[in-house]
Structure 1
Amino acid sequence: MRKASRFMPKYKTEKASKATLFVFLAAVLALLIYQPMFFLSLAGLALLAIIWGTVEQRKIDRHFQRLCNNRKGLSICEFAREFDRKIVDTWIIRAVYEQVQAALPTKKQIPIQASDDFFNTLKLDEDDFDLDLIIEEIAQRTERSLENY
């Protein structure tokens, strides 16, 4: 008998090596030394992006707070009930629920419904949303191969 899905392993992220960090810092230092004006303009653009991101994040947080209030009391149980467990493996249901939740642009735990739209309801931007990455995470957690999928 297979273990219950709540005992499924968590997704293991791969961390960058120290060599990668060293190369990145060396490139930033070289840019600062050889092109200081370019570096300063790049820093100014980065500051503007941070300010814009902060304003946008507040809007997103308000959206998810409303969503959370509307879905008070919902959990993975209601999400799982929307699927026929004789056809869809419970490990896949749990992995999809948890990995999509982890991909949301908020720290809140938002109850997800099977009918949710990735881009409008869950605010997953097409540029940021990498479906292939989420599929790989789900495959790793459910211990399945993506070969010939």
Structure 2
Amino acid sequence: MRMPSRYLFPLKPAAPGSGVVAFVVLFALLAGVLYGAYRLLCDFLSTGNPFIFAVALFVVLLSVSGIVDSRKRRARLLALAQARQGESICQFARAFPRRDVDAWVIRAVWETVMAWGGRDLVRLNFPLRADDSLALFALDDEEELFDALSDAATRAGRTLENLDHNPFFPLITLRDMVMALNAQPMTPERQQKRDIVLD
């Protein structure tokens, strides 16, 4: 009997105090941005320099563009969630060959994408599909994707050795992510858990 996938390995907890450091850095960045905006406004009012106005206008347009994109993404996720109502990890798992793909990998990818996809996915209880594009979950950036893949590998008990020789790269969809992770070798801890159950 196989060990159920609900016994995934936990992610390593963040170092103590890392949340405080992150908060301080974020606060410092926000304070710097606000001070910079204040200085731009003061300089524009005192000199009337059109370059300062152009820079300020560009920053405002960039901010508005980000807000609009975020709302469009949220509306798209809501429409998809309503169309997929009643689906769960079960339908996601059925999209893969049961005997060829490790259930731990499937669950690890599901849980990792839900964690990395942001609050909207969790709030909507968004059902993933194997053919969903990674771009839908903001995992189209190479660094973000590697970090998410690393988290999923840790949870599933897989290594990321020789990842550049993986036949399922480049990763475009969640199916690619599952198959690529499934092709990676198991860690000794995962192998040990599998062997205990098989005995």
CA deviation string 1:23-68 (max 9, x = no partner): x849x66xx69xx549x97998766544433222221111111100
Counterparts of 1:45 and 1:16, CA distance in 2 = 32
1:147 aligns with 2:161: yes
Residue 146 of structure 1, CA deviation? 1.4
Name the aligned partner's letter for residue 147 of structure 2: L
Counterparts of 1:19 and 1:113, CA distance in 2 = 33
Name 1:60's counterpart in structure 2.
Answer: 73
Say if 1:18 and 1:60 are closer, same or farther in 2 by CA, change over 3 A: closer
Residue 72 of structure 1, CA deviation? 0.6
Q: Unaligned 5+ residue runs, structure 2?
A: 44-51, 164-199
Q: Unaligned 5+ residue runs, structure 1?
A: none
1:112 aligns with 2:112: no
Name 2:11's counterpart in structure 1.
Answer: 11
Residue 127 of structure 1, CA deviation? 3.9
Considering only CA atoms, is the larger Rg found in Structure 1 or Structure 2? 2
Counterpart of 1:76 (choices 89, 96, 115) is 89
Counterparts of 1:129 and 1:20, CA distance in 2 = 22
For normalisation by structure 2, the TM-score amounts to: 0.55
TM-align CA RMSD: 3.9
Residue 118 of structure 1, CA deviation? 2.3
Count matched residues: 144
Question: Taking CA–CA contacts closer than 8 Å with sequence separation of 6 or more, which of the two structures ends up with the larger relative contact order?
Answer: 1
Counterparts of 1:19 and 1:73, CA distance in 2 = 38
For normalisation by structure 1, the TM-score amounts to: 0.70
